[in-house]
Structure 1
Amino acid sequence: MNMLTRLEEYYYEAKANKWMRYFTVFCRIVLALGFIPSGIIKIMGERFTALPAHHPLGQYFDALHLTGYYYTFIGFTQLTIAVLLLIPRTALLGALMYFPVILNICILAYATRFEGTRITTFMLLASFYLLCWNYDRIKYILPIKQSERHSDTSTQTRSNKFPWLFFGSVLAIMISVVVINQYLYTIRPGNSMLECTNSCPGNSKPEVCQKFCDCIYNQGNSLDKCLDDYERAKQ
């Protein structure tokens, strides 16, 4: 038995597990709820976030808000994806559409050092999990050699055994994301001037941190320039 066949055996066992099915429904609902409010806000033409205009991500959303019907189109897309995820028959299509959107949002959050990097990472991982859950339906388009295992899970023996290893791994991954994000950056702009300056007492160079916050929120400079000034001042 090769590695792929062995992994597929584990996969079909997971598909037949009651708790894994509950977790999959939970992921679908939570991801849909993450897109519904933001989609409605964009359709209504309102500003998406309360981030100030001088915040790196606030600048991006201000520019996005001014794109007219493109901004509305994004809202309709998010709302459509959310609805597709909530309907079992169209959940796969929703998952396929969700992943590239949340991947883009996650990379944007990390690029601007947004405080929401943790939640966007969780959403990205949950979206990837849904794609893995539907492996039996999308494996035929993957560039891998197909096994002889039949994709019909209706005859699979159902299991009520709680998958401690899986949920323990999920918890470990969530803790890892939180810890890694805690130490990933030496400084972040926060979501406001007050939040930025409140982090300065814990910084190795509090006075330099204060100048960084002033550079972002009062002077309105770009994140790259403020980071360059911050690194030079530290040296």
Structure 2
Amino acid sequence: MSLSTRLDQLHAQARRNRWLWLFTILCRILLAVGFIPPGIVKIMGERFTVLSVNHPMGNYLEALHHTGYYYTMIGVMQVLAGLLLLIPRTVVLGAVIYFPIILNICILSFAVRFEGSRLTSPLMVLANLYILCWYYPAWKHILPFNQPAQAGRFPGWKELDTKFPVKFFAGVAAAFALVVLFAVYGNELMPRNTLKECQTQCEDSANPAACYTFCDCIHQEGQPLDDCLETYYKAGSP
């Protein structure tokens, strides 16, 4: 059996489950809600957050805010992707537009250790990937498989299997738990959103004095995250 045929069979099996249909609709709605409001903020030309410019993410967003129509264009694409996801006939196009934007946000969030989207952005990436997999027949022709894909009719609502997919949702719960654990415990030190919030982690750190220096380096001096982390680790070296 070819890989293309096997994927077709797996997809057909998933599309016959009513719970997965409902989960897909939920993902589409949540992803749209996650992009449309912040996209409108950008279109209106307003600053996206109230973070200090000394904060790594605040510095980035401040620079982005001053890029003029580029900032507006990002907002337009976010709103467009969100709206397309809500329309059944344009879901695939919306998901394709959505993916590179949310992947960029996810990588940025981890790079600057931003708590505001450190948890939500990877979950949104996973939800976006799920939607792309759900609509696999719409784009599978671009894959380098020797055997051409066979188009099939999607089952109607009354034809759907009502059996609850325990293994699938257990996997969803496990993925959610892993993302939460990494967001909370993935890094020893976080800049947090304010100086006061940053300092709350210092008492439990391996080197409280170095931690306070790190927080001052970020929020008072506005130094790059890597430089502040280097200072912290050097202070903890014997």
Question: TM-score category by the smaller chain?
Answer: over 0.9
Question: What is aligned with 1:215?
Answer: 217
After superposition, the C-alpha distances for 1:156-204 in whole angstroms (9 at most, x for unaligned) are 9521111111011100110011112333211110111111111112211
Corresponding position of 2:110: 110
The runs of 5 or more residues in structure 1 that have no matched partner are: none
Match of 2:14 in 1: 14
Identity %: 47
Q: Secondary structure at the match of 1:9?
A: helix
User: What residue in structure 2 maps to residue 55 of structure 1?
Assistant: 55
1:202 match: secondary structure: coil
8 Å contact from structure 2 (residues 84, 90) kept in 1: yes
1:55-74 equivalences under 5 Å are 55-74=55-74
Shift in CA distance, 93/148, structure 1 to aligned 2, threshold 3 Å: closer
Give the Cα–Cα distance (whole angstroms) in 2 for the partners of residues 124 and 101 of structure 1: 9
Structure-1 separation of matches of 2:165 and 2:155:
20
1:152 Cα deviation from its structure 2 partner: 2.6
Q: Counterpart amino acid of 2:193?
A: N
Aligned counterparts of 1:206 and 1:134: Cα–Cα separation in 2: 50
* Cα distance between partner residues in 2 of 1:43 and 1:3: 44
Measured in 2, the distance between the counterparts of 1:199 and 1:58 equals 20
Q: Does 1:76 align with 2:43?
A: no
Distance 1:140 1:7, change over 3 A: closer
Structure 2 residue runs of 5 or longer lacking an equivalent are none
Aligned residue type for 1:139: K
Map 1:1-235 → 2, pairs under 5 A? 1-2=1-2, 4-115=4-115, 116-146=117-147, 149-154=150-155, 158-235=160-237
Deviating more after overlay: 5-14 vs 31-40: 5-14
Equivalent residues of 2:77, 2:97 under 8 A apart = no
Q: Which moved more, 1:198-207 or 1:34-43?
A: 198-207
Give the Cα–Cα distance (whole angstroms) in 1 for the partners of residues 146 and 232 of structure 2.
51
TM-score by length of 1: 0.95
Q: How large is the Cα RMSD of the aligned pairs?
A: 1.6
2:145 maps to amino acid: I
Give the TM-score of the pair, scaled to structure 2: 0.93
The Cα of 1:8 is off from its aligned counterpart by: 2.8
For 1:155 and 1:149, the matched residues in 2 are separated by 19
User: What residue identity is the alignment partner of 1:216?
Assistant: I
Task: Say whether the 8 Å CA contact 1:140–1:146 is kept in structure 2.
Answer: no
Query: Secondary structure at the residue paired with 1:188?
Result: coil
Q: Partners in 2 of 1:146 and 1:202 — Cα distance? A: 58
